[in-house]
Structure 1
């Protein structure tokens, strides 16, 4: 890679690293796996940087790589192995902070969604992508994004219950 391209790559990654990590975390629900997904994404991005910069929407291209890396990891058998006896969702929150409890409830509800619905909900509402940008990132139709989003939101509403929906919606807006 030429020095000017490498500088562009570093500037791009530096500006978006925390957002990419947040997206990966929202998809997989595990900070360590999110690190792995982001690292694989950045490696692929580096090797394809010339092609990426030629794309109309660089962010959608990068989100596409990120989601593909997440989906590829989910297909591997070792990704189903849990280290430790206690599932993540069984952890108790000792803090009086209401936001931590709400975030935990949201993450638990997101983990229940099928991977396609989870990807659409995360890209649409946590990364604030448009329907078209989400479809481009996932390489699917706009109609598929809309239907997956509707199903995903309905599942989240059912999992969270009516008392948490208002506070979760506020937290989703604050997280953006």
Structure 2
């Protein structure tokens, strides 16, 4: 598969993954663009991988986690958005609950990534562990902590039905 074919086939999926983990459309586009740029630089190596999409997805996730460690990541987008300048939400089909979406944003970056990869990308613990460079037991404990936080938020925000 050539790089252009890969971008056509999987580019929007990378943007959706970036949006789901970051909660910001512009940041999602930046994450996807950065992942694709890094993949392009070593496309011969990426193309020869067993699963090139897994390879690029790992680049995106690592870039997001790296971004959250930087001080500039703490900037928060304003709650007031001009309705004429908004872009349609590409994750409408993924995240259908505003309460759940806000609860996900309260999780740590790693917890959010693990839960998104597990429940929205439907990856198993072993694959998530490979993506993050951690042990599968760490994936399970991180997911457990993230779900416990969501349950606490759910109790206070009444999103029981939407999490099931």
TM-score range, shorter chain: 0.7 to 0.9
Runs of 4+ in 1 over 6 A off after TM superposition: none
Computed over aligned residues only, the root mean square deviation of the Cα atoms, in angstroms, reads: 2.3
Displacement of 1:163: 4.2
Structure having the higher Rg? 1
Q: Which runs of 5+ in 1 are unaligned?
A: 1-6, 89-98, 170-176
Q: 1:106 matched to which residue of 2? A: 100
**Correspondence 1:19 to 2:10:** no
**Correspondence 1:117 to 2:111:** yes
The residue correspondences of 1:56-135 to structure 2 (distance < 5 A) are: 56-84=50-78, 86=79, 103-135=97-129
Q: Tell me the distance in 1 between the aligned counterparts of 2:80 and 2:38.
A: 31
Contact 1:64 1:139 in 2 (8 A): no
Looking at secondary structure, tell me which structure has more helix per residue: 1
The residue correspondences of 1:134-145 to structure 2 (distance < 5 A) are: 134-145=128-139
Q: 1:173 matched to which residue of 2? A: none
Q: 1:168 matched to which residue of 2? A: 163
Q: 1:152 matched to which residue of 2? A: 146
Displacement of 1:53: 2.1
Q: Which runs of 5+ in 2 are unaligned?
A: 82-92
Displacement of 1:57: 2.9
Q: Tell me the distance in 2 between the aligned counterparts of 1:163 and 1:59.
A: 37
Q: 1:53 matched to which residue of 2? A: 47
Larger RCO: 1 or 2 (CA < 8 Å, sep 6+): 1
What's the TM-score, normalizing by structure 2? Answer: 0.81
Q: How many residues align?
A: 151
Displacement of 1:121: 0.5
Structure 1 pair 8–153 and aligned structure 2 pair: CA distance change class (3 A): same
Contact 1:131 1:146 in 2 (8 A): yes
Contact 1:109 1:156 in 2 (8 A): yes
